[in-house]
Structure 1
Amino acid sequence: MGVLENKARARTFYKYLSKVYDEINPLVWNEEMRDEAIEMLDLDADDRVLDVGCGTGFATEGLLEHVDTIYGLDQSPHQLSRAFEKFGKLGRVRYHMGDAERLPFKDDSFDAVWSSGSIEYWPNPVDALEEARRITKPGGKVLIVGPDYPNSSIFQKVADAIMLFYDEEEADRMFREAGFEEFEHHIQQSMPGSPRAITTIAEVPE
């Protein structure tokens, strides 16, 4: 398990990262990549959507171009505080502080669940994927964006020591263990040589 696959360490990490997150994030996950992934969900304006690990609201902002209201959840009060500054506390975003592995919502609560830049910090990603499936309506979609495993053996060692990086084979295993039957992976990259994102879209069984 990587150093940041620990909830207390991750909260401390984001306490400081939240101050510069919006400036650093586009280097590896930019608007074009985000918007391309959002299109995969084929959202309707009245869809009920949850952004797990919403952070400062980068994905939330893009999702709001497609739906009327977003539910945002994060375990970091510092990240949520930055999101409050962007969207306000009583606007189109409904905020929740919580844990991806124990989502505070009833079964079949959402038409779609989105999570980008969060799975790499989950100590038990299969548990969190099961939770995402539980709260998504049958026939709904779950979209997860995480860091693709590096090709270089040196970077692989560094990646393994920090947080979760995974390839398509490992993504297959995690999603199957979480109860998904239909899913597909897409590799996204901001520019040649930059870190790759692995974006998985899965359909909740009817």
Structure 2
Amino acid sequence: MGVLEDKARARLFYKYLSTVYDRVNPFIWNEEMRAEALDLAEVEAGDAVLDVGCGTGFATEGLLERTENVHGLDQSVHQLEKAWAKFGRTGPVDFYLGDAERLPFRDDAFDAVWSSGSIEYWPDPVATLAELRRVVQPGGTVLVVGPNYPKSSIVGRLADAIMLFYDAEEADRMFAEAGFESFEHHLMGPSYSPEIAITTVARAPGATDEAVETESS
């Protein structure tokens, strides 16, 4: 387990990172990448969407371009303070201080769940992915963006010591163990490092045969 896969350390890390996060973030996770991921998520107007690990609200801002029903959750009050400064505490986004491993929402509460730049800090990614699956409606989309595993073995060992990095094969294992049956991976990144991120789009199981038949008819 990497140093930052400990929740207390991650909160402390983001206490200081939050002061510069919006200036640093575009070098790793920019608007073009966000737009590409949003297209993959297929969020439609009126969809209820949960942004897990919303941070300062960079992805939240993009989600608001697709739907007005957006909810954001983060474990760092310092990151949320930056989000509140952008969007306010009472709208247009409902923000929650909480743990991704124990989401404070009922089953099937959302049409889609989004999480970008958060999975690398989860101590138990499989359990957390199962939580994301729990709160999305049957057949709904769960989109997760995380750091792609470095090709260099030296850099890989350093990455492992800090946080979770993973490749498509490991993503297959995690999503399957979390109960997803249908998922696909996309590599993306800025021009100088076009494969820095791995984006997984998964469908929550449970859509009825009747619904599937209706869609195909």
User: Highest Rg: 1 or 2?
Assistant: 2
- The alignment status of 1:96 with 2:110, answered yes or no, reads no
Counterpart of 1:147, as a letter, is P
Q: Gapped runs of 5+ residues in structure 1?
A: none
In structure 1, the residue matched to 2:197 is: 197
Counterpart of 1:36, as a letter, is E
Shift of 1:38: 0.6
Shift of 1:45: 1.2
Structure 2 matches for 1:161-172, cutoff 5 A?
161-172=161-172
Shift of 1:139: 0.8
In structure 2, the residue matched to 1:142 is: 142
Counterpart of 2:156, as a letter, is Q
Q: For 2:77 and 2:194, locate their aligned partners in 1 and report how far apart those are by CA, in whole Å.
A: 29
Shift of 1:133: 0.3
CA deviation digits over 1:96-122, x for unaligned, max 9? 111111100000000000000000000
In structure 1, the residue matched to 2:129 is: 129
Aligned identity (percent) is: 66
Q: For 2:146 and 2:89, locate their aligned partners in 1 and report how far apart those are by CA, in whole Å.
A: 28
In structure 2, the residue matched to 1:12 is: 12
Shift of 1:192: 2.9
In structure 2, the residue matched to 1:70 is: 70
> What SS is found at the alignment partner of 2:59?
helix
Structure 2 matches for 1:40-119, cutoff 5 A?
40-119=40-119
Query: In terms of mean alpha carbon deviation, does 37-46 or 168-177 score higher?
Result: 37-46
Shift of 1:195: 6.2
The answer on whether the counterparts of 1:28 and 1:194 sit within 8 Å (CA) in structure 2 is no
Shift of 1:46: 0.6
Shift of 1:42: 1.4
Q: TM-score, normalised by structure 2?
A: 0.93
Stretches of 4+ aligned residues off by more than 4 angstroms: none
Counterpart of 2:120, as a letter, is E
Q: TM-score, normalised by structure 1?
A: 0.98
Counterpart of 1:180, as a letter, is F
The answer on whether the counterparts of 1:28 and 1:195 sit within 8 Å (CA) in structure 2 is no
Shift of 1:43: 1.5
- The alignment status of 1:157 with 2:136, answered yes or no, reads no
Q: For 1:21 and 1:193, locate their aligned partners in 2 and report how far apart those are by CA, in whole Å.
A: 19
Q: Gapped runs of 5+ residues in structure 2?
A: 208-217
The answer on whether the counterparts of 1:51 and 1:71 sit within 8 Å (CA) in structure 2 is yes
Aligned residues: 206
Q: For 1:201 and 1:193, locate their aligned partners in 2 and report how far apart those are by CA, in whole Å.
A: 21
Seen in structure 2, the aligned counterparts of structure 1 residues 102 and 147 have a Cα distance that, compared at 3 Å, is same
Q: For 1:177 and 1:125, locate their aligned partners in 2 and report how far apart those are by CA, in whole Å.
A: 10
Seen in structure 2, the aligned counterparts of structure 1 residues 68 and 182 have a Cα distance that, compared at 3 Å, is same
Counterpart of 1:111, as a letter, is D
Q: For 2:41 and 2:155, locate their aligned partners in 1 and report how far apart those are by CA, in whole Å.
A: 32
Q: For 1:91 and 1:103, locate their aligned partners in 2 and report how far apart those are by CA, in whole Å.
A: 20
Q: For 2:48 and 2:183, locate their aligned partners in 1 and report how far apart those are by CA, in whole Å.
A: 21
Counterpart of 2:38, as a letter, is I
> What SS is found at the alignment partner of 1:151?
coil
